[in-house]
Structure 1
Amino acid sequence: MLRRTLPLTLIALLALALLAGPASAQSPQANAAQADGLLNKTLYRTGASGRFLMAGTWYFRADATGNGPVADNASPSTAGWTPVSVPNAWNARDYSDASFAGGVGWYKKSFHLPSAKSALSWVVRFESVNYRSKVYLNGRLIGRNTGAYLPFEIRLPASLLKRGGANVLAIRVDDRRFPTDFPPSGLSSIGTPTGGWWNYGGLLREVYLRQIDNIDFNTVAVLPDLPCGTCDAAVTYKTTIRNFGDKSQKVRVTARLGDRRVDLGSAAVGPKKFATFTKRITVKSPRLWSPDSPYLYNTSLTATAPAQGRRKGRTLESYFVQTGIRSVKVVDGHLMINGKPLHARGFGVHEDSLDRGFAIDDAQREQQIQWAREEGATMFRSHYPLHPYYYERMDELGMVAWTEVPVYSVKTKYLKEQKVRKLAAKELANAVRTNINHPSIIVWSAGNELSARPGPVQGYYIQRAVKLAKSIDPTRPVGLAVAGYPSAGCQPEYAPLDVLGINEYFGWYSGPNGQIADRTTLSDYLDSVRQCYPKKAIFITETGAEANRDGPVEERGTYQFQSDFANYHYGVYATKPWLSGALWWTIEEFAVKPGWDGGNPWPMPPIHQKAPITMAGVKKPVFYDLQRIYKGTKQYGP
């Protein structure tokens, strides 16, 4: 089991020093790759071996026509291009309507392969690109992707690779979004772009080059099954591997659960074919992962080629995983971890920065986590899958996560299209596959604030999404976050869901026909939700009020109003022991369009100011109110 015991900056420096080594210890090819900024390191640990961070200098060029510098993307020439580092959001610090509406930009980078061996295959991995991308290698289109917040990979064709020389990777990025995208974007009644959190364009997370020695782990799932908090457990390994080679390859797959070796078996995998390995083992008297004792098992997998005559067996690829043995179940309307009830207190979170936009680094992610822990929080919720660093740290710290896909506020007339519903369900399936091994994730959420009166269209989507998520991961509940309005009533379309998240802003927004303007009606409303859904776990997934100045407690937008709002709402939640959690929206301010000011007479658009911490890192008075409330709440256990 690995744990961080040194400051992150020191670890990074040590890693770089070890990686650099004496120049004579590396081949000229490896030295050339390192000079290009390819580093044999990652910003998170989970995943396959052979990853090289594509750091160093990239180049960017805006494309006003949208047709691109196609002829230029094969050239190593950088004339007319701007040097940038990646991750990069090209419109960071630009809060204009044109910035939000989006446009087209190009990135390119010259690189040498770390090894010129002809037997090796290479894949480029993008952790998040917003939103539509076309990928070129040495001037030839090699792949496309649509969507953000989830990784995608594209194989670099051997016929196009210059194994001993410089290659040029170019990416066309188009962040103009449509009402059928996730999240959607469109125009307001007065013709201005609208759509939620800020539409930052670019390579928003890091890029890796992956080395493949014929065999590659395509998917890896390590799923615990714990019948009760004191029972023996079972762990199921399921992995699919792919043979990139031109010949059949015999492969043995093994794993470890701590010090225990697990043999998943062997198989001959045909050229360009896949093979799936599954093994279920019993774990007696397991050490459990829980919020108060987050024990992690090292469960790394290894694919090896068997020995042949005098030729020793060799490792083809390994895949690092840490997981925790624990159960997450909804029992009699409460979410239980290892048979104990959860009463989490926490925050929503967005990746945003005044300087970098969405393209933040691990230091800022760590800062958000430490702020939340300082306040006594145990839970994060996001509108989209977060960078893996968040989940790895929450795994280590015993925090829990509500992980959502950005199927946010999609209008019913678009969700009615079968293609949109299928793509939305696929988005959830991809999020599950990507993050399945993190014990901190306790809810997969199919979306946020779709129509408060779902009807058959949304009902069909919910049914499809839940079924698909559970076919991949039967160990976790599936939920949905909804806008809290009394007029919504009981909705049969929510029947497939295990968990329901309520976004409630009683006393801040007025809601349809003013129905949530009076905060004193909150308690009765929550009781009515419980009566509608007695068997579902209920969370408050959002609450809060914006604040940016001192002033009277009765004046919206003041720190005093915000503190009073927090104390009142969490006071109501304390009278509802059946709530599984309550989250303030958000931990740190972020940029939005429109402003969501809720009646604040002096808002500061586009900054969303409900958070207890400003984008400049300044704590508001409500920080300490929430700290007192959170630390005074028993968040796990009876």
Structure 2
Amino acid sequence: MARLRFLLPIFALLALFPAAAHAEKPNEQALYQDGPEGRYLLDGDWLFRLDPTDQGIKQRWMRSTSKSGWNTVEVPNVWNLGDPSNESMAGGVGWYRKDFELPNADSALEWAFRFESVNYRTRVWLNGKPIGENTGAYIPFEIEAADAVKRRGTNRLVVRVDSKRLDRDFPPARTNADGVPSGGWWNYSGIQREVYLKKLDTVDFQTVTVRPELSCGTCDATVRMDLDLRNVTRDGQRVTVTGKFGDRNVRLGTKTLGPDGIASFTDSIRVADPRLWSPQTPNLYDVSFTVRVDGEKVAGYQLHSGIRSIKVSQGRLFLNGAPLNVRGFGLHEESKADGFAITNERREELVNLTREAGGTVLRTHYPFHPYTHELADRLGLLIWSEIPVYSVSTAVLKEPSVRRLAVAELERMIGAHQNHPSVMVWSIGNELSSQPGPVQVAYINAAAKFAKEMDPTRPVGIAVAAYPSSLCQAQEYKALDVLGFNNYFGWYPGPSGQIFDRTKLSGYLDAVRACYPNQALMVTEFGAEANREGPIEEKGTWAFQQEWINYQMTVMNSKPWLSGVLYWTLNEFWVRPGWEGGNPRPAAPVHQKGLVSYDGVKKPAFFDIQRWFKATPQFGPPPPAA
């Protein structure tokens, strides 16, 4: 059945669809490879209903057996797709329901649910019993079924989603003087990414880290493997863990885990003359782990590792000892057809467009889907990986609890994606106050310290608005390795008109280099809106966008010390009601700086960027042999 797409008037549309759902046994499959064995995709038909007056809990919808009022959808699903109203942007409450049977009724097995992304507050019931909740989006979370699961017969999973975001959320929600809500990008409501039923046989993988360390581009590598396993049974278990890295066998040891106990398993190997991962040669090693109890396999895990080093030295970013001057794109994992509930085919399309245009870097304001990371690993793309700590006001960031939540968000992102060689930078935020005071400095220092302790093999960065009035913040940013500057000289006027004149860009960049001589510097955004034919002098025309891009690229290409330049954005996406984006003839809520239109048409400037990017030597020569 085609995914249900909600358009206005939504209540009238819902009434047209009969409710239908039946219990089924899910198949063992996943939309991405890396991860534990025993994942069962909960796809097919779900039931959905809106809760506009928030009466579902009072009326006990989590225990409902009737299908009245429920309508059939497919998950992933966003219920406000195509609705550009203020109410849609502000968010609401919706309920999802899935009936299923366990694929295996063995009483020795435990089960959990894995949600890849739900926006934003999630409460979950199984067979009428509450089993867990979560706050946040874009990062996976898991909830165990525990004693609520039925071994035989129909299980009913009910998920309440509250997409109303607050000023303390990531990204924060705000409302302007005209009552128009905002929040960085469109607030798509619902279960945005897929859901899995996860089999737990004796143990659960709590963390799996495979960390290659490379001292130089011609050195041998050390690969450290760290696993934390939890015993999910009520009895003590003696557990043995073995693995493979490429064709090398590894033994991580045998330990006894008490009931619900956690134990760490560690091993490291030396890899002589490693096949290095890079965008030119994205070599990957197959990695697997096997857990046995009394000689019998109870669990397995697989991933793909790339041996490479990414470091900052003397103000440049180096990959495997060679300097970088990369080119790439910001993008949103979105489509006109599905909003944020996109398929792997759409992810492949975005990655292929990036490569077609000569890009080697991907960036968005939240963690990518795991399949996007796997594509980047296989195809040789780098990722600026960022948490959605976007435009959080200093007054909110002042609260210690908000700063702790932001660092927790960083921890979850690193935990989810640290095994991917494609990740080149952990970014702790975007466009916080351009003049950081003690509050922001406290957050920067805490986040940078935590990221380097959790993953010492990658640099830590932030993206900031490029304003001359806040040019030099050397002390405030000293804990960071990489600084990204969002450059809109000649497009937006900026505060007091300070970036109105595009000819000031070159001098600004030179001053930035002088201020931050030891940090790697990148332009993390530059872009101009375009949606029509018209004269080159008129903002919003194809011709203006082309000429503006060509000027910008001429200036930025003259700065050999830059480690990279990223265009914002590859694809058009929804922002908020009333969005103008500097375009005198906007098409709200669509952000039209994208080089590919919302309907999938390449703008003329796509080919200008392609010409510039493909002509740029993005990777320095490899280091000389030892």
Distance 1:594 1:106 in 2: 25
Distance 1:36 1:613 in 2: 40
Moved more, 475-484 or 248-257: 248-257
2:10 aligned partner: none
Matched, 1:251 2:239: yes
**1:613 partner SS:** coil
The one-letter code sitting in structure 1 at the alignment partner of 2:484 is: G
Matched, 1:171 2:159: yes
1:302 aligned partner: 290
Deviations 1:247-276 (CA, angstroms, capped at 9, x unpaired): 111111112111110111110011101001
TM-superposed CA distance for 1:34, in Å, is 11
The one-letter code sitting in structure 1 at the alignment partner of 2:541 is: T
1:417 aligned partner: 399
2:605 aligned partner: 622
CA RMSD, Structure 1 to Structure 2 (Å): 1.2
**2:199 partner SS:** strand
Matched, 1:500 2:492: no
Distance 2:446 2:289 in 1: 32
Aligned in 2, Cα 1:632/1:503: closer, same or farther, shift over 3 Å? same
**1:321 partner SS:** strand
TM-superposed CA distance for 1:162, in Å, is 1.3
Q: 2:69 aligns with which of 80, 98, 103?
A: 80
Q: 2:197 aligns with which of 204, 209, 213?
A: 209
The one-letter code sitting in structure 2 at the alignment partner of 1:537 is: A
| Structure 2, unaligned runs of 5 or more | 1-20, 622-626
Distance 1:493 1:186 in 2: 27
Deviations 1:193-247 (CA, angstroms, capped at 9, x unpaired): 1111000010000000000111111100100110000001100101100000011
Q: 2:176 aligns with which of 188, 201, 205?
A: 188
1:30 aligned partner: none
1:123 aligned partner: 112
Instruction: Report if the CA contact (8 A) 1:57-1:109 is conserved.
Output: yes
1:29 aligned partner: none
Q: 1:516 aligns with which of 499, 524, 537?
A: 499
**1:567 partner SS:** helix
The one-letter code sitting in structure 1 at the alignment partner of 2:169 is: D
Instruction: Report if the CA contact (8 A) 1:233-1:325 is conserved.
Output: yes
Distance 1:519 1:596 in 2: 23
The one-letter code sitting in structure 2 at the alignment partner of 1:501 is: G
TM-superposed CA distance for 1:594, in Å, is 5.4
Aligned length: 599
Moved more, 468-477 or 516-525: 468-477
Distance 1:613 1:474 in 2: 37
Moved more, 252-261 or 99-108: 252-261
The one-letter code sitting in structure 2 at the alignment partner of 1:150 is: I
1:344 aligned partner: 326
2:51 aligned partner: 63
1:440 aligned partner: 422
Instruction: Report if the CA contact (8 A) 1:301-1:319 is conserved.
Output: yes
Matched, 1:534 2:517: yes
Distance 1:474 1:163 in 2: 44
Instruction: Report if the CA contact (8 A) 1:479-1:499 is conserved.
Output: yes
Matched, 1:229 2:217: yes
The one-letter code sitting in structure 1 at the alignment partner of 2:592 is: Q
Matched, 1:466 2:448: yes
TM-score normalised by length of structure 1: 0.93
Distance 1:343 1:76 in 2: 59
TM-score normalised by length of structure 2: 0.94
**1:637 partner SS:** coil
1:17 aligned partner: none
Distance 2:342 2:104 in 1: 31
1:484 aligned partner: 466
2:135 aligned partner: 146
Distance 1:235 1:612 in 2: 40
Instruction: Report if the CA contact (8 A) 2:579-2:587 is conserved.
Output: no
Matched, 1:200 2:188: yes
Q: 1:319 aligns with which of 301, 314, 318?
A: 301
Matched, 1:96 2:85: yes
Instruction: Report if the CA contact (8 A) 2:290-2:300 is conserved.
Output: yes
**1:39 partner SS:** coil
The one-letter code sitting in structure 1 at the alignment partner of 2:432 is: L
TM-superposed CA distance for 1:110, in Å, is 0.6
| Structure 1, unaligned runs of 5 or more | 1-32, 307-312
The one-letter code sitting in structure 1 at the alignment partner of 2:548 is: F
Distance 2:173 2:329 in 1: 25
Matched, 1:607 2:596: no
Deviations 1:563-599 (CA, angstroms, capped at 9, x unpaired): 0111111111111111111011111100002555343
Instruction: Report if the CA contact (8 A) 1:37-1:54 is conserved.
Output: no
Distance 2:615 2:25 in 1: 48
2:270 aligned partner: 282
TM-superposed CA distance for 1:409, in Å, is 0.2
Instruction: Report if the CA contact (8 A) 2:86-2:577 is conserved.
Output: no
The one-letter code sitting in structure 2 at the alignment partner of 1:177 is: R
Q: What percent identity do the matched residue pairs reach?
A: 54
Moved more, 352-361 or 618-627: 352-361
TM-superposed CA distance for 1:478, in Å, is 0.5
Matched, 1:361 2:343: yes
The one-letter code sitting in structure 2 at the alignment partner of 1:267 is: K
Instruction: Report if the CA contact (8 A) 1:93-1:356 is conserved.
Output: no
Instruction: Report if the CA contact (8 A) 2:579-2:590 is conserved.
Output: no
Instruction: Report if the CA contact (8 A) 2:25-2:102 is conserved.
Output: no
Aligned in 2, Cα 1:607/1:518: closer, same or farther, shift over 3 Å? same
The one-letter code sitting in structure 2 at the alignment partner of 1:604 is: A
Aligned in 2, Cα 1:636/1:596: closer, same or farther, shift over 3 Å? farther
Instruction: Report if the CA contact (8 A) 2:85-2:577 is conserved.
Output: no
